[in-house]
Structure 1
Amino acid sequence: MQQIKPSTSGGSTHRFSWSCLRCGGWLPSFKPITRTVVDRVVPYIPETSVYFFDRVSRGALDLAAQASASGAVVMFEPSGRGDMKLFKEALELAHIVKYADQRMADLAGNDTADNLRLEIQTLGSEGLRFRLPRNRRKPGWRTLNAAPAPNVRDSCGSGDWCTAGVLSKLASRGVQALDDATVASVTAALKFGQELAAWNCAFEGARGGMYAQPQAVAVRSDLLPGTSHVTTQCVDNGVAADLVSCPRCDVA
């Protein structure tokens, strides 16, 4: 459950609760992919252009390896390190790695992974920086300022929207499309992702924009920041409680 509260600076802050608003019991949390799921998914891998994961597990890495072998772009956006052996393997498998400087600044410039095509380090309100290790002429860091967000209600999920925008521009044809990308096209893809992140700030919740403006999934330019006028509606705890599916008290 995401809880949004006004901040002293005039914006908003959010935090997450793992307890049900009705019964107080713990809500289900992340569980790693099982071998059964891996076996069930493998036949579909050849038709996949992108494989994204943010937590390491043996099953997730097995699928990443299969996807990579089939020509898909493998993107790793770590939410934490977990098992260090698996974490290192994830970095070696990934074609794109994206992480926040506040959490994992020590990953910057990791040249040990031969697969790495694009490294993205987000810098919060200051934007992001990126580098292309395989670009022999210009392998160093490039910085992009954050896209303006004129209507900020909640920033939750903006990083995910940025990722989705980047992948939609660079990975539609798998790793071959990524290899064919120029510095200019990578820069444009990152700026597009930043625009989606800024657009998302106008809505409450990580998927608020999808529900309020479903046509934005088609990425119309008139729905991006600076050109759209969007509204959202808060729900109190009584209403929110009715929307929670809790295995402990759900009677449906």
Structure 2
Amino acid sequence: MMIPRPDTIDVVGTGFTVLDRLYADGDFTAEALGGSCGNVLVSLAMLHRQVAPVLALGLDEIGEQLFTEFEIAGADTRYIHRHPGRRSPVLRQELDTHSGQHSFSFTCRDTFEEFPRYQPIGHEELQSAMAALENCALFYTDRLSPAILDAMAQAYQGGAIIYFEPSDIDHTLFEEALAITSVLKYSSDRLGPELDELVAASAAIAIVTYGADGLELRHGYERIWSAAYPAERVTDTCGSGDMVSVGLIDWLLARTGPRLSGLGIHDLMGGVVAGQRLAAENCAFAGARGVFQQRDAAYVRSILAHARHTFPA
């Protein structure tokens, strides 16, 4: 496999990356690379974007499986570090395919033992990826830690778009991260009341999600509503938010310069709609990346291209 040079990297990312174990209607169905960061990065790699994950995994069978999935997808795996004595993270998903509803657990279904949890990168991983961080077009993360904040700052100083998708808030780090964030995507139900005013006062373009209803783009106090694209069939809604990010990031990579200079929320609608259409397609399949696994990357690319014709640059 050809390893891309640092100056050709589209996306450097770090954050929640786990092995998903999927149980559909009570039965074990599959296991695959998952977590929001893992889903977004491996999907973009499958779409032939130059992607470099920066991760800290265990030197174990699960770590090997996650590493191999990134490698097969075409990602640059030089910055995936595997540590002896560390166990790679696992997450269990329980899916009811009749309702499309799902739940998650960090315990084994059979033994009730706790699965190993995600651990963020540290100084070693950060230092190894400096050249990539300085030369990427976009930096993605869904978690914060001191080393991740430093990685974000390094990418920002190099002119990258900073795409931040938090699931919770660490107030000691969040305001520093928000100050250099280009696009902030978060759930209204989970973080809305806590973040809305703080984000409105920032320079970040916000994407606030409302589940099956749709999402809202915000910049300061300017707002645009984008209703969800209707799904023809709903088997599993897991991964819908990740597919929105995949569609938007792919669109951003094709259209923008550093830091979204001069672009407002109206300009991002094409990428948002592309992501929403991909999310709707993904709902027809079990698993967070079901559309990639049951169809293929060329089919996904055709979905994104349709939105490109609807919202030309």
SS of the residue corresponding to residue 268 of structure 2 reads helix
Partner of 1:53: 141
Say yes or no: does 1:79 pair with 2:170: no
User: Distance between the aligned counterparts of 1:177 and 1:34, measured in 2?
Assistant: 26
- Aligned counterpart for 2:224 among listed residues 134, 142, 161: 142
Instruction: Check the 8 A contact 2:278/2:303 in 1, yes or no.
Output: no
**RMSD (CA atoms):** 2.4
Unpaired segments ≥5 residues, structure 1: 134-138, 226-252
Q: 1:123 aligns with which of 186, 205, 210?
A: 210
Superposed CA deviations along residues 82-107 of structure 1, whole A, max 9, x for unmatched, are: x3111222212211101111011122
TM-score (norm 2): 0.63
TM-score, structure 1 normalization: 0.77
Partners of 1:68 and 1:210 lie apart in 2 by 30
Decide which of 188, 196, 201 is 2:278's aligned counterpart: 196
| Cα pair 2:162 2:259 within 8 Å, conserved | no
Report the counterpart of residue 191 of structure 2 in structure 1: 104
Aligned equivalents of 2:185, 2:149: Cα separation in 1: 17
Give distance in 1, aligned partners of 2:292 and 2:106. 23
Task: In structure 2, list runs of 5 or more residues that go unmatched.
Answer: 1-91, 308-313
Which protein is bigger by CA-based radius of gyration?
A: 1
Query: C-alpha distance in 2, partners of 1:217/1:65?
Result: 35
Q: Look up the equivalent residue of 2:94 and give its one-letter code.
A: Q
Equivalent runs, 1:163-202 vs 2, <5 Å: 163-172=245-254, 175-176=257-258, 178-181=260-263, 183-202=265-284
- Secondary structure of the residue aligned to 2:222 is coil
Task: Give the corresponding residue for 2:239.
Answer: 157
Does the CA-based 8 Å contact 1:165-1:193 persist in structure 2? yes
> 2:94 aligns to what?
3
The reply to whether residue 16 of structure 1 matches residue 104 of structure 2 is: yes
Query: Matched residues, percent identical?
Result: 31
- The corresponding residue for 1:95 is 182
Q: Is the 8 A contact 1:108 1:121 kept in 2?
A: no
Residues 112-133 of structure 1, C-alpha deviation per residue, up to 9 Å, x if partnerless?
Answer: 434x2x1111111211111234
Number of corresponding residues = 214
State the 1:26 CA deviation: 2.0
Q: Is the 8 A contact 1:49 1:174 kept in 2?
A: no
Q: Give the letter aligned to residue 77 of structure 1.
A: E
| Amino acid across the alignment from 2:95 | I
Indicate the SS of the match to 1:220: helix
- C-alpha change, 1:48 and 1:194, in structure 2 (3 Å) is same
Distance 2:145 2:101 in 1: 31
Alpha-carbon separation, structure 2, partners of 1:141 and 1:184: 9
16-25 or 157-166, larger mean C-alpha shift: 16-25
